Structure 1
Amino acid sequence: MWYPRAVLAAAAAAAGLPAVDSPFFSLDAPAALRQEAIEAAELGFTGKVAIHPRQLPVIEEAFAPSRSDVEAARAVLEAAATAEGSITTVNGAMVGPPLITAAHAVVARAHDTLTDPSEKAGC
């Protein structure tokens, strides 16, 4: 099911729509839920349906950007802010508008998932 799920997520992204993955129906398998949610995030889904409140922390964790993802996104945004055109470099890699847009999305997701108000100020 990876291919059709990836196509669905890509089509939704191309249309500017969120792609929400189908629910995980087993309430007693948090490790399997975590794995499925991580796979959904890797495929490009923006979220996953929960059928019970106790699934929410697992799903939220799977879709939250890692600290290294946020640091990389911030580096892209800093480079873009000082660039003289729409293309710049970060750590020797070319960065243009699509990666800058993606970096904005990562920082926004990080801001939304932080629970400590002092950390939100740095997003």
Structure 2
Amino acid sequence: MTGTLLPRLLPILLLIGSNVLMTFAWYGHLKFKDKPLLAIILVSWGIAFFEYCLAVPANRWGSSLYSAAQLKGMQEVITLCVFAIFSVLYLGQRITPNHLIGFALIAAGAFFLFRAPVAAA
């Protein structure tokens, strides 16, 4: 079981890690608005380097099991989950019902990426 489970989970775990880093790179600076923009950009680039070190292998290795569209769909759902947690815990912002509806619609789109293709008539 481990032999077949790890290749399926590894891309997902790497995408989770890359999304945590990218969320901090893109939004973490919002708590530091008093810092110079150039410094924030350089720190964000530094974080993004490590994000790429996870995202690139996630997509390369994941492409042996998942289509590019499936990987992108997974990444979007992971991004939303990571962002929602980050937004509440780090930024102290609420997730509203409208946010949840929007997130659910995006997740519904990802769901259809994993459905078997419909045969042409």
With the shorter chain as reference, the TM-score category is: 0.3 to 0.5
Length-normalised TM-score, structure 1: 0.32
Length-normalised TM-score, structure 2: 0.33
More helix by share: 2
More strand by share: 1
